[in-house]
Amino acid sequence: MSQVSLTIDNKEVSVKPGTTILEAARSVGIDIPTLCHHRALVPVGACRVCVVEVEGQRTLQASCVFPVTAGMNVQTESPRVVQARKFILDMLFSERNHFCPFCETSGDCELQNLGYRYGLDHWVYQTYTKAFPVDASRQYFLMDHNRCVLCGRCIRACSEIAANHTLGLRQRGAKSMINADTNTPFGGSTCISCGTCLQVCPTGAIFDSRSSFMGREAQSEVVKSTCSQCSVGCGIELITRGGNLLRVRGDWEGEVNKGAICKHGRFEPLNEGRNRLLNPMIRRKGKLQPVSWSEALQAVAKRLEATEAKAVGVLTSSNATNEALFLLEKLFCKELKVNNVGLLNEAAPKLAGQRRGMLNDLVQSDLILVVGADPAKDQPVSSFFVKRAVDKGARLIVVDSEQNGLVPFAFMNVEMKNIQKAVEIAERAENPFVLYGAGMTEDAAKVLNKLQKKAAFAAIEPGVNTRAAVAFGFNNGFKPASSKTLYVLMGEADGSGEKALQSIDKKGFVVVQASYASPLTERADVVLPTAIWSERTGSLTNTEGRVLKANRAVDPEGDAKPDWEILSLLAGKLGKSLPTSFDDLSARASNELKRKEI
């Protein structure tokens, strides 16, 4: 493709046609300040902070929306440009109650940084003295209208990224304010608390109630990781300071989500209310008592060695990493010859011969069938993709109950038994897409076979690492009654294995590898404390089949250990030669998943 050559600050630059001046400048390391602009949003050129001087143009131009032309000569910091930016900033500071020298609300306020950059040390124009309201009706973050500069980023992010269309602008002029729906409190509106508006806000107007005033970005460390709250596998960034996890934000470079995350990934893990398990424990005289790791693992090994393979059962949650699932299969299924294994959550059924689609492909579809899944409730980011497609004109058919969270966005909602109607419409579409989950019936799957040659299919797996768990064989029908010794790898999941425990022999020996206390751990004979999502390194396989890296941001609390390390240590106690190096283990797990054509 041909290139366009221009000069920016006396530096020769070559870019693709259609590139804006801002993009061209950033491609060669020239920093043009912005405020209303954001990389994930469609540029609007509203705030004018990014203005530059273009030779031959009568007025200064907003670089975020002005396309380059051959031979263009641009100055980004000329006296005229600097004067204009200072004037813009002076006007912005006059519009609300900004006290930047004292405010550290958001950690890094872009307006504050611009004030420092251009030497603003006093108010040129009189500022507001009348207080604007603060909306604290949402659980996790607040809106302080005193800090708002009306850049519109939050409104655009709510529409373009989350596709929820909750935010808007009410009134005019100096009285303009961001509002939710028809001017209702945010907590009572259609807001889904995904926090996308929080992440794109350039000031302290929208701020996190948990991490405010806890340090600037330069004082913190950023660890890229993968969200482990559902099967989508969103890229996230973990912000830490002094060994403490401050907040979670979406990674704009994330290959699956491109920055979008939901409240399950952004807020809920940081507001966990369950009691952590911090020490290995063995039941003695009817009570669980803390012991050393060596003693706990030796007790488990001794019990396993004394139990026939047919009397051993293994249950796992889908919260486990690929490395832990690999070791669980190798140790119990291959080495100890255990056949009675199971998965604590359901899995989406397999559809043979379908064309696999990726979540990003949803936006290009003209018709979407959601069958037996509720992404709005269980995998919200995937519902963002669906709603974006609807915004672009795609038709949505939900084959599920009326309670499905996507029904309000659908033009048709049919029951599972009437799926034939939906398939007939999809057959007439040019680019249909089928999104299905564990709620799809066998009869519905047979009807969907008619779309195999035309539609793209993507499973929305319940749980987290369900796809890998199924690939490693942990979905073959667990029989609790035959288990005299039961090993449960719970991880961070809730006590959903309680039903299995009700069927096991009351005298049975139960080992629970978990992060939090639950009815399962109360029943256990041995408890092995497991590190949580922010304390472990490993990999996860998302619902599309991508293997994604999860990185540790903080040290494990107490004596907790990563899921894979516990299994590796147990294998050593049993005298089994299994991988102990994480890198070796991770490579083997990845190769095994490739071999299984996951």
In a domain, 308, yes or no: yes
In a domain, 86, yes or no: no
In a domain, 94, yes or no: no
* Among candidate residues 210, 243, 271, the one where a domain is terminated: 271
Q: What Rg value do the Cα atoms of the chain yield, rounded?
A: 27
What is the CATH number for 56?
3.10.20.740
- Show the domain range for 28: 4-77
Number of structural domains in the chain: 4
In a domain, 525, yes or no: yes
Burial class (CB in 10 A: 0-12, 13-18, 19+), 285: exposed
Q: What angle do CA 303, 306, 312 make, to 5 degrees?
A: 70
**Looking at the structure, do residues 133 and 45 belong to the same domain, yes or no?**
no
Q: Which tokens hold the place of 407?
A: 């029904």
**Looking at the structure, do residues 537 and 568 belong to the same domain, yes or no?**
yes
In a domain, 82, yes or no: no
What is the CATH number for 376?
3.40.228.10
What is the CATH number for 215?
3.30.70.20
**Looking at the structure, do residues 24 and 170 belong to the same domain, yes or no?**
no
Residues contacting 479, CB < 8 A, separation 6+: 313, 340
Q: Are 132 and 75 in contact (CB under 8 A)?
A: no
Residues contacting 353, CB < 8 A, separation 6+: 449, 452
CB neighbourhood size of 158 (10 A) = 24
* Among candidate residues 225, 241, 271, the one where a domain is terminated: 271
DSSP 175: G
**Looking at the structure, do residues 479 and 452 belong to the same domain, yes or no?**
no
**Looking at the structure, do residues 475 and 455 belong to the same domain, yes or no?**
no
In a domain, 548, yes or no: yes
Give the global pTM. 0.94
Kind of pairing between the strands at 367-371 and 432-436: parallel
**Looking at the structure, do residues 236 and 141 belong to the same domain, yes or no?**
yes
In a domain, 146, yes or no: yes
**Looking at the structure, do residues 586 and 491 belong to the same domain, yes or no?**
yes
**Looking at the structure, do residues 109 and 234 belong to the same domain, yes or no?**
yes
What is the CATH number for 326?
3.40.50.740
DSSP secondary structure, 360-420, as one string? GGGGG-SEEEEES--HHHH-HHHHHHHHHHHHTT-EEEEES-TT-TTGGG-SEEE-GGGHH
**Looking at the structure, do residues 306 and 362 belong to the same domain, yes or no?**
no
> For every one of its 598 residues, what pLDDT tens digit does the chain have, with 9 covering 90 and above?
589 999 999 999 999 999 999 999 999 999 999 999 999 999 999 999 999 999 999 999 999 999 999 999 999 999 999 999 999 999 998 888 887 766 665 557 899 889 989 998 888 888 767 889 999 999 999 999 999 999 999 999 999 999 999 999 998 888 899 999 989 999 999 999 999 999 999 998 999 988 887 878 888 999 999 999 999 999 999 999 999 999 999 999 999 999 999 999 999 999 999 999 999 999 999 999 999 999 999 999 999 999 999 999 999 999 999 999 999 999 999 999 999 999 999 999 988 778 889 999 999 999 999 999 999 999 999 999 999 999 999 999 999 999 999 999 999 999 999 999 999 999 999 999 999 999 999 999 999 999 998 999 999 999 999 999 999 999 878 888 788 999 999 999 987 667 667 777 778 899 999 999 998 999 999 999 999 999 999 999 999 999 999 999 999 999 999 999 999 999 999 999 888 789 999 999 999 998 887 6
Instruction: Identify the CA nearest to 374 among candidates 422, 339, 408, 331.
Output: 408
**Looking at the structure, do residues 375 and 287 belong to the same domain, yes or no?**
no
**Looking at the structure, do residues 133 and 221 belong to the same domain, yes or no?**
yes
**Looking at the structure, do residues 214 and 242 belong to the same domain, yes or no?**
yes
Instruction: Identify the CA nearest to 236 among candidates 279, 289, 199.
Output: 199
Cα-Cα-Cα-Cα torsion 387, 393, 398, 399, nearest 10 degrees, comes to -140
In a domain, 579, yes or no: yes
